[in-house]
Amino acid sequence: MKRIVSLAALATALVTTPAMAQDAKTPQQQADEFVVSTEAKLAKAGVEAAQASWVYSTYINQDTEAMTARAGAAYNSLVVKSAIEAAGHAKTPGLSYDTARKLSRLRTAIVLPAPTKPGAADEVATIAARLEGIYGKGQGTLRGQPISGSDIEAEMGSNRNPEELKEMWLSWHDNVGKPMKADYAKLVGLGNEGAKELGYSDMGALWRSNYDMSPEEFAAQTEKLWLEVKPLYDSLHTYVRGKLNAKYGDQVQPKTGPIRADLLGNMWAQEWGNIYDLVAPPGSGDVGFDVTELLKAKGYDDQKMVKAGEGFFSSLGFEPLPKTFWERSQFVKPRDREVVCHASAWNIDNVDDLRIKMCIKVNGDDFVTAHHELGHNYYQRAYNKQPFLYLDGANDGFHEAIGDAIALSMTPEYLVQIGLLDRDKVPSADKDTGLLLRQAMDKVAFLPFGLLVDRYRWQLFSGQSKDAQQSWTDLRLKYQGIVPPGPRGADAFDAGAKYHIPGMVPYTRYFLARILQFQFYEAACKQAGWKGPLHRCSFYGNKDVGKNLNAMLEMGASKPWPDALQAFTGSREMSGKAMMAYFAPLKKWLDKQNKGMKSGW
């Protein structure tokens, strides 16, 4: 997870040496000293405020909220001041590699830069808080009665009444998105002013500058990745549309054209796994075992599930987690207080104070999540000897992809190896279609949404988009092939009904993670000498894989991401080919099912 925490005293601690002393030093030396001083201050602030953030997340009350809010505000002031100074030093010719790289990272660390004009920082904070409040308190309706956002998410995953799905979708987008529209436009304007002070044309250019290439090159790179995997998405879209037509009829879901957004089991149509029961292949939809039932039958509890995750990494040769991990982590929701249950991984002191924060339930989803979160922890520990500004993944997609690659290796064979599944219960090859389709309904279905969320914002930030609502609808149609379930007025702001939009959380990282996880997984399977179908590979227990993986992880953000990628995969290019190889049997099956049906929209 990203920590944005600090102390108020440190916000004003960035002092330069007196002018007379500065004059005696070259601009390159001044830049070097600025980086050293700033990095030390940020490192100290990060540890102290991470502690405040942890307390708030695991013990929510008025006092801890105030403490973490003060820490966050102070840290933001510190980072903004640092970034503006870094922008000045970055113009200096002849800088060393590390100084130039760290100056760049200081400038791109800010997602929502407030301009330096009086009152702007307070205005940005006020608007951002108001948007968060609108989202957090947002409700929709079901059968005319109010329903919370979390309850809508659950209901849309199981409800099969098209009129009720439509009501929930429209009411949520109207009640949450519309009230944000004017404030969001103001926030974009202020953020763009701040980005220009840092030397970028707008916030989109700032966000895209964090990938060791120009903003234009990054946009082209991600579009190229999408085109590599688009044929797989198109086949899935065609198949699912046909199944929805068979379920609901032409009046609800036509045989051709786009899919109605509310029918896909998810508020944003970003993942479709909740409607797997509607699309499961006859005879092979049941994969033959249920991980939740296996865990309960073997007496697993929360800590035993996490111990299994630790065991996976230990089997690759990684050192066990420190004793403090087991003492300080939050594994289950406490009975006596409110906590943030959203799973996250922490390294409080940036050395070895590793923790996870979860509210674990004994089920298959949380078993996977525990493995995934430990992927973050082992990555954090691998690069803990790097300087503070390099304590991160090679790019923001890497961190998520590591845990996801581990999760891909949790095959039936892995379950046999750890004693959860009996070997005679391993699904036969005729179940592979169901296994792959279930995976694709989340991982493949997500791809266009993962791409378009930021493309939408890049258009808004740059001024290319003149209609915030129409641009969202157009991009959803272009990339996902979906349409709203009803007319959208000029005052609509459907994008605001997705948390990451008002929250100003960059989203392309999730698209990259979906691509990279398969690239990492394929590389690990090749190193393990796997010869069978890629989707059945598990590299559990392979020390060579662990050694090679660690070589990439320990680099942190010290080198451009192509260097890190090459260290493990041998390639310097992100590629969708591994994902296509993983799902190749499913693609062949889908195309056979889709014969005679019109693809595209």
Residue 272 predicted with pLDDT over 90: yes
* Rounded Cα distance, 371 and 174, in Å: 37
The tens digit of pLDDT for each residue in 212-246 reads: 999 999 999 999 999 999 999 999 999 999 999 99
Residue 139 per-residue DSSP state: E
Question: What does residue 145 show for φ and ψ, rounded to 5 degrees?
Answer: -105, 145
The tens digit of pLDDT for each residue in 522-566 reads: 999 999 999 999 999 999 999 999 999 999 999 999 999 999 999
The tens digit of pLDDT for each residue in 141-172 reads: 999 999 988 899 889 999 999 999 999 999 99
CA dist list (Å): 256 to 244, 276, 278, 481, 594: 11, 20, 18, 11, 12
Q: What pLDDT score does 11 carry?
A: 35
Q: What pLDDT score does 24 carry?
A: 82
Q: Which long-range contacts (CB under 8 A, 24 or more apart) does 530-536 make?
A: 533/432, 533/585, 534/578, 534/581, 534/582, 534/584, 535/411, 535/432, 535/435, 535/436, 535/439, 535/582, 535/583, 535/585, 536/411, 536/412, 536/413, 536/432
Residue 113 predicted with pLDDT over 70: yes
Active site residue 500: yes
Residue 15 predicted with pLDDT over 80: no
Residue 95 per-residue DSSP state: -
Mean pLDDT of 275-299: 87
The one catalytic residue in 39, 373, 400, 522 is 373
Q: What is the mean pLDDT of the chain?
A: 91
Say which residue, 69 or 572, is predicted with more confidence. Answer: 572
Neighbours of 274 (CB within 10 A): 18
Contact predicate 492/178, CB 8 Å = yes
**For residue 201, with 0-12 CB atoms within 10 Å meaning exposed, 13-18 middle and 19 or more buried, which class applies?**
middle
Residue 269 per-residue DSSP state: S
Helix axes 62-89, 181-197, angle to 10 degrees: 40
Q: What pLDDT score does 22 carry?
A: 55
The tens digit of pLDDT for each residue in 394-425 reads: 999 999 899 899 999 999 999 999 999 999 88
Mean pLDDT of 568-573: 97
C-alpha dihedral, 202 to 205 to 207 to 208, nearest 10°: 170
Q: What pLDDT score does 17 carry?
A: 41
482-483 and 259-260: which strand pairing?
Answer: parallel
Q: What pLDDT score does 65 carry?
A: 81
Q: What pLDDT score does 26 carry?
A: 96
Mean pLDDT of 591-595: 97
Mean pLDDT of 39-68: 87
Q: Residue 284 — pLDDT band, cuts 50, 70, 90?
A: low
Could you tell me the residue ranges of all domains in the chain?
8-110, 291-434+509-575
Q: What pLDDT score does 10 carry?
A: 31
The tens digit of pLDDT for each residue in 470-517 reads: 999 999 999 999 999 999 999 999 999 999 999 899 999 999 999 999
Q: What pLDDT score does 122 carry?
A: 84
The one catalytic residue in 153, 155, 500, 554 is 500
Q: What pLDDT score does 428 carry?
A: 83
* Rounded Cα distance, 311 and 291, in Å: 17
Tell me the β-bridge partners of 60. Answer: 338
The tens digit of pLDDT for each residue in 172-193 reads: 999 999 999 999 999 999 999 9
344-347 and 354-357: which strand pairing?
Answer: antiparallel
Active site residue 65: no
Provide the whole-model pTM: 0.91
